[in-house]
Structure 1
Amino acid sequence: MSGLIGKKIGMTSIFDENGKNIPCTVIEAGPCVITQVRTNEVDGYEALQLGFDDKKTANKAATGHAKKAGVAAQRKVVEFQGFEGDYKLGDTINVEHFKEGEFVDISGTSKGKGFQGVVKRHGFGGVGQSTHGQHNRLRAPGSIGAASYPARVFKGMRMAGRMGGEKVKVENLRVLKVVAEKNLLVVKGCVPGHKNSYVIIRK
């Protein structure tokens, strides 16, 4: 699957030809530079390694790797398979790789929400729909296990814990606009991550 690396700018909304308000996300997609070309002869598979967003400071390994492509060290490096065309080391791929109307899959790291209770984390009833096993603690989880048998809590029990900060992939988001002069990609719906977080766009 070919694609690009981008940075989430934020959300907005646009109106379609029927006057319907559509929520959308604006992504700075590229330009991405090719930092390595994987081949069947050398690596056993074909892929393009893309880099995005120059680093101001980098270690010798990252600097030397990027120097082969004649560019600065990159903050985000991802491999993509399925690129059509003849690309060479150091070439640049921009947002015009996408077309309006096509569908893309976007993955990123969701916002971290820290330690959360069962109401926020799993959608338990809470106030007004008090869960079983409680009477005066309206956001508590209630009973979580049986008696002397099985004498333990089963794995996977929905309880309080760390929430967010996980890799999330949203599939089939429609590309609404491609603003080539500003390297912007506008897709319908929401994309995981906070503002200025890196996302991976695949098609």
Structure 2
Amino acid sequence: MTQIFNEEGFVFPVTVIRVGPCLITQIKNLQKDGYRAIQIGYSRINFSRLKKIQSIDCKKIKLPIFKFKCEYKNLDTQDYFLGQELNVNIFKIGEFVNITGKSIGKGYSGNQKRHKFKRGPMTHGSKNHRAPGSIGPGTTPGRVFPGKRMSGQLGNKQVTVLKLKIVGININQNLLIVKGNIPGKPGNIVKIQSSKY
């Protein structure tokens, strides 16, 4: 993340994302697969790091091997072909995109951090500072309902941020600059999709 100034002189936060280049590795259609989608690959790897069966499959389609693959559903597959390279040129400044990624994992967290619970009193012999307190609803029904907000794993989940505005594009280095923040830490793999889908 960084920050830039607009024409009026106001500063706002932006995120710089490296987009591709990605190659289309598979095209799915209604007749064969039951739905329309394209599969793209990112980050090439060499054949020596693959199992024999994987290398045979890759040699059949005569495309390089990729470490990461992702599907984009409900697209008009007639506009794409196998082996087509996708980069930052498919986006336009001012367009809105949805970005999906895995959020930063924060480990096992308590109620105050995870659900913004209030703490108990800190003086006069209180034994309830950060404890959750009573969790049961009494004699009837005599059990804890499912979905009760308690301590547990925080973060490390798939999150989508909607309608982030594209404020800049660098074609030479395949960089996309969006207004605001995106899920995950620096270096994460994210999925970028136009907000109209």
TM-score past 0.5 threshold: yes
Question: Aligned-pair distance for 1:125?
Answer: 1.5
State, as a whole percentage, how many aligned pairs show the same letter: 41
Note the C-alpha offset of 1:69: 4.1
User: What 5-or-longer segments of structure 1 have no aligned partner?
Assistant: 1-10
Q: Judging changes above 3 Å, is the alpha-carbon distance between structure 1 residues 46 and 150 closer, same or farther for their aligned structure 2 residues? A: closer
Tell me: CA distance 1:147–1:113, structure 2 relative to 1, closer, same or farther (3 Å).
Answer: same
Task: Determine helix, strand or coil for the equivalent of 2:172.
Answer: helix
How far apart, CA to CA, are the structure 1 residues paired with 2:57 and 2:71?
14
Render the CA deviation track for 1:170-193: whole Å, top value 9, x for unaligned.
100001111111011111111111
Match for residue 26 of structure 1? 16
CA distance in 2, matches of 1:73, 1:17: 43
- In the TM superposition, what whole-angstrom CA distance separates every residue of 1:142-198 from its partner, at most 9, and x where no partner exists? 221233222211111111011111111110000111111101111111111111111
User: Take 2:110 and 2:174, find their aligned partners in 1: how far apart are those partners?
Assistant: 40
Once the two structures are superposed, the pairs formed by residues 69-80 of structure 1 within 5 Å of their partners are 69-80=61-72
Q: Which residue of the partner structure matches residue 200 of structure 1?
A: 191
1:105 aligns with 2:95: no
Say if 2:161 is the partner of 1:170.
yes
Confirm whether residue 66 of structure 1 aligns to residue 58 of structure 2.
yes
Matched, 1:187 2:178: yes
Give the CA deviation at 1:20.
1.1
Cα gap change, 1:67 to 1:83, in 2 (>3 Å): farther
SS in 2 for 1:106: strand
Equivalent of 2:7, from 17, 30, 33?
Answer: 17
1:140 matched residue in structure 2: 131
Cα distance in 2, alignment partners of residues 12 and 62 from structure 1 = 40
- Match in the other structure for 1:49: 39
* Whole-angstrom CA distance in 1 between matches of 2:149 and 2:116: 10
Supply the distance in 1 between the matched residues of 2:58 and 2:88 (Cα, whole angstroms). 21
8 Å CA contact retained: 1:24, 1:188? yes
Aligned-pair RMSD on alpha carbons?
Answer: 2.1
Is the 2:29–2:35 contact (alpha carbons within 8 Å) kept by the matching residues of 1?
A: yes
> Alignment length, in residue pairs?
189
* SS class of match (2:167): strand
2:112 is equivalent to residue 119 of structure 1? yes
Question: Does the 8 A contact of 2:26 with 2:82 survive in 1?
Answer: yes
Q: Give, in whole Å, the separation in 1 of the partners of 2:83 and 2:180.
A: 33
Query: Is the alpha carbon distance of 1:65 and 1:190 closer, same or farther for their aligned partners in structure 2, counting shifts above 3 Å?
Result: farther
CA distance in 2, matches of 1:87, 1:39: 12
- Mapped to 1, the partners of 2:79 and 2:126 lie a distance apart of 68
Give the whole-Å Cα distance in 1 for the aligned partners of 2:127 and 2:142.
26
Deviation at 1:28, TM superposition (A): 0.8
Instruction: Return 72-81 or 158-167, whichever deviates more.
Output: 72-81
